[in-house]
Structure 1
Amino acid sequence: MSEQPMRLEREGDVAVVTIDSPPLNLFDQAMLDALRGVVDALVAEPPRAVLVRAEGRVVSGGVDVEVFHGRSAEQGAALWRELLDIIHRFERLSCPTVFAAHALTLTAAFEWALGCDLIVAGRGARFGLVETVVGLTPSMGGPQRLAERAGSGRARELVMTAELFDAETLERWNVVNRVWEDDEVDAKARALAASLAAGPTRAHDATKQIVRAWCDGGVGLADEIVPEVSGALFETEDLRAAVAGFLERGPKHGTVYQGR
């Protein structure tokens, strides 16, 4: 067990965030504080890709209910504002983010996953937003991000039933992007993150901005921002090097992107 419930390690251009607080990797106050610190560090020194993973037999058993105990309505609202701010800041990172789920992934961990660009999972992984067991609804951004991915009906189903859903079902519903064998998840997730980190980072950021604009305001808003967001790519080192290489050596010249 690590001294902190969550750690951030830099592996080349990839920032690997590991949840590690056995036996259940619960999101207690220490874990939430660690999450805030990790996001602060990522914002201060952005990588070219982020991988979120976990150690242990579960990704997370959910939130420690002590976090909710005795709060007033005002204190509850303050908690949700703080946690949503963390998710917003994480989503705005200018690089691809990948969440790897090898096993049970409940509540706060699942909501964090939904704030990532890609979710990958093992066949044995199970996901759930089970806050109704304590009279709550998920409020760290989960329902609305589920609706973005799977539609409003599926979002209500996941939340209201508080059932567990397997990775292959959520892949069919467009919540999970890729499903692998359980013992392959970690290696394949690391390889995927490394591949994304080796790509045109500025272009990936532009993709994120355009998709976010679509989520916020539909095709019209996305179209509005494209000229400025994508136009700026023409002054990046990556585009200029890739175009020059293409013209000189053909489409398979193998540009090495620098993320600039």
Structure 2
Amino acid sequence: MPDEVITRRPGDGTLVIELNRPQARNAVNENLARLVAAALDELDEDASLQVGIITGAGGTFCSGMDLKAFVRGERPEVPGRGFAGLVERASSKPLIAAVEGYALAGGFEIVLACDLVVAGEGARFGLPEVKRSLVAAGGGLLRLPERIPYHAAMEIGLLGDMVTAGRMERWGLVNRLVPDGEALAEASRLAAALAGNGPLALTATKQVLVEGRDWPMAEAFTRQSLIADPVSASADAREGAVAFAEKRAPVWTGR
């Protein structure tokens, strides 16, 4: 079976990106990383797309880096995007992880690079790198303490054990916990709801949420204005107000 990433367009402004190496539990090699990066380029550049979903084939999200390929000398990274073609720079548009089965090591780091997480009840998350004398350097150790309580992040990083989706939901990392097999369907419903909002506002809102964490408070509102003011002055902002007054669905143009 060839290594590939399958992309689908359900027709609601969503791009589904499916890791398709089920024979290797969707472990990431160089080729898969390049294909993910290409799919994210498509998401970023196509104005008809508003939201991305990343998921895995065969009942597993992603088991991390392909260690056999690593031993052969492969480095599954893409310049500018990092491991798996996304952990350093995913997309300027909202990205949802739809998780079934295992999201381990680099697979969990892919999840952490996403903006929203939908998981099946049987999903398992973890950073087992320490068990192999490796460091979770694909963003896991950087992002995890921002997503869940400090001591919980330390437990995951230092022990390297798997954690249930239920615990992750209680810690606030999982947005929607669903029966096994329903993660992609729920993620698609969530994506459709997001895609119904103004595209300029979606991108700007994500940008403020991501970048604003590092802004000094004395500069925060000024920096926010540089992002938000052009959206407020857009034709879409006027259309949103007119549609609300006329009690109809807005028609967005992205301008």
TM range (shorter): 0.7 to 0.9
Partner residue, 1:179: 177
Deviation, 1:139, is 0.9
Contact kept, 8 Å, 1:6 with 1:20, in 2: the verdict is yes
The answer to whether the 8 Å contact 1:210/1:222 transfers is no
Gaps of 5+ in 1: none
Q: CA deviation at 1:171?
A: 1.2
Gap runs ≥5 in structure 2: none
- 1:9, 1:15 within 8 Å by CA — same for their partners in 2? yes
Identify the residue that residue 131 of structure 1 maps to in structure 2.
129
- The whole-number CA distance in structure 2 between the counterparts of 1:70 and 1:184 is 36
Aligned to 1:245: 243
More helix by share: 1
* Aligned equivalent of 1:34: 35
CA contact (8 A) 1:144 1:155 kept: no
State the 1:82 CA deviation.
Answer: 6.0
Q: TM-score, normalised by structure 2?
A: 0.86
What does the per-residue CA deviation read over 1:206-258, in whole Å, with 9 as the maximum and x for residues that have no partner?
211111123223655543322221111122222111112233x3xx4332434
- Partner amino acid, structure 1, of 2:232: F
Q: Give 1:97 shift.
A: 1.0
2:63/2:106 contact within 8 Å kept:
no
How does 1:87-166 map onto structure 2 within 5 Å? 87-91=87-91, 93=92, 95-166=93-164
Deviation at 1:42, TM superposition (A): 3.0
Over 4 Å off, 4+ runs: 78-82, 218-221
In 2 relative to 1, CA 244–98 (structure 1 residues): closer, same or farther, beyond 3 Å?
same
- The 1-side partners of 2:218 and 2:231 are apart by 21
Q: Aligned equivalents of 1:221 and 1:60: distance in 2?
A: 39
* RMSD after superposition: 2.5
CA distance in 2, matches of 1:180, 1:149: 20
Looking at structure 1, the residues matched to 148 and 220 of structure 2 have their Cα atoms a distance apart, in angstroms, of 20
Aligned pairs, number: 250
Distance 1:201 1:220, change over 3 A: farther
The separation in 2 between residues aligned to 1:222 and 1:6, in whole angstroms, is: 39
CA distance in 2, matches of 1:132, 1:81: 26
Q: What TM-score does the superposition give when structure 1 sets the normalisation length? A: 0.85
2:210 maps to: 212
**Matched-pair contact (CA < 8 Å) for 1:39–1:89:** no
1:52–1:79 Cα change, 3 Å = closer
> Offset of 1:100 from its aligned partner?
0.4
2:51 aligned partner, one-letter code: A
Q: Is 1:25–1:59's contact at 8 Å kept on the other side of the alignment?
A: yes
| Correspondence 1:35-50 to 2 at 5 A | 35-45=36-46, 47-50=49-52
Q: Percent identity?
A: 28
